[in-house]
Structure 1
Amino acid sequence: MNENHILELEEQKSELGKVEISPEVIEVIAGIAASEVDGVATMRGNFATGVAEKLGRKNHGKGVKVELAEDGITVDVSVVITYGVAVPEVANLIQSNIKQALQTMTAIELQAINVHVVGVQFESNEAVEEEN
């Protein structure tokens, strides 16, 4: 993704000017919306986001990639789910939550929301011991 790309909302143009939304803002909105879904353990980022978080910088857009196109945007989300959840159900909830958040906050036309399940997180040993 090129940082110089700015998504212009044609429907938001008025006599006062135009509204531009950076793809990074869309990533943050989608990342927060996905992480709110029950069954999502964590979002999966790359090495750079992991280093930044260890240095104390929270990255809400972690695990989200936005591609701009003429007919809308495509959002790719990489998540780690909690063991025992229904994967298709959680993926559908992620898609619905992202779609609702982006339409409510930005009025952007979505082409697709792709969910990539890249891992499963098991309960910690402490949680299992407390149940026994």
Structure 2
Amino acid sequence: MEENILSEVPVEEETGIVRISDEVIGVIAGLAASEIEGVAGMSAGLVGDISNKITGKKSNSKGVKVTMDNGLVVIDLHMAVEYGMKIPEMSMKVQENVKNTVETMTGLNVALVNVFVESVIFPKVDKDEEIE
């Protein structure tokens, strides 16, 4: 079972320690990525999709991997994009939005946001349109 790692957020006053789990950071990153036009969804991969079907759970952090490296956050996003989008431009917008959102909400420093485009989603065509 995967260990749920907690990230410590520096606190200016001596009032205590704030810890944020990697799963929470993953949820924030996944939601921030999905805000960008052209992102069709996050991709958990084959194993993640099977796991979600077996357990019946839908995770908002699917397709997102969060790691800490020397106090910096590294986020890997596995996404599906809509056909016709300019992938490099869209990916840069995703990186910027995820970095800004995670840093604003958690106070952690995001070093890298890696975007992996794993599939392209084509628009559905109605059978009536095919006949014409």
TM-score grouping bracket, smaller chain normalisation: 0.7 to 0.9
- Given residue 58 of structure 1, which amino acid in structure 2 is its aligned partner? K
Rounded Cα–Cα distance in structure 2 between residues aligned with 1:30 and 1:39: 16
The structural deviation recorded for 1:16 is 2.0
Cα 1:128/1:23, change in 2 over 3 Å? farther
The structural deviation recorded for 1:89 is 0.8
Rounded Cα–Cα distance in structure 1 between residues aligned with 2:90 and 2:127: 22
Quote the residue 1:17 is aligned against: 16
1:34-61 deviation per Cα after TM superposition (whole angstroms, max 9, x unaligned): 1111101121103443245446422110
The structural deviation recorded for 1:22 is 0.4
- Given residue 30 of structure 1, which amino acid in structure 2 is its aligned partner? A
- Given residue 75 of structure 2, which amino acid in structure 1 is its aligned partner? V
Alignment of 1:66-77 (within 5 A): 66-77=66-77
TM-score (norm 1): 0.86
The structural deviation recorded for 1:4 is 4.5
Cα 1:2/1:38, change in 2 over 3 Å? same
Structure 1 segments unaligned to the other structure (5+ residues): none
Quote the residue 2:96 is aligned against: 96
The answer as to 2:12 corresponding to 1:8 is no
Rounded Cα–Cα distance in structure 2 between residues aligned with 1:63 and 1:49: 8
The structural deviation recorded for 1:2 is 5.2
- Given residue 40 of structure 1, which amino acid in structure 2 is its aligned partner? V
Alignment of 1:10-89 (within 5 A): 11-12=10-11, 14-54=13-53, 56-89=56-89
Rounded Cα–Cα distance in structure 2 between residues aligned with 1:64 and 1:112: 13
* Count of residue correspondences: 130
Rounded Cα–Cα distance in structure 2 between residues aligned with 1:47 and 1:70: 31
Cα 1:86/1:26, change in 2 over 3 Å? same
Cα 1:128/1:116, change in 2 over 3 Å? farther
Rounded Cα–Cα distance in structure 2 between residues aligned with 1:128 and 1:97: 39
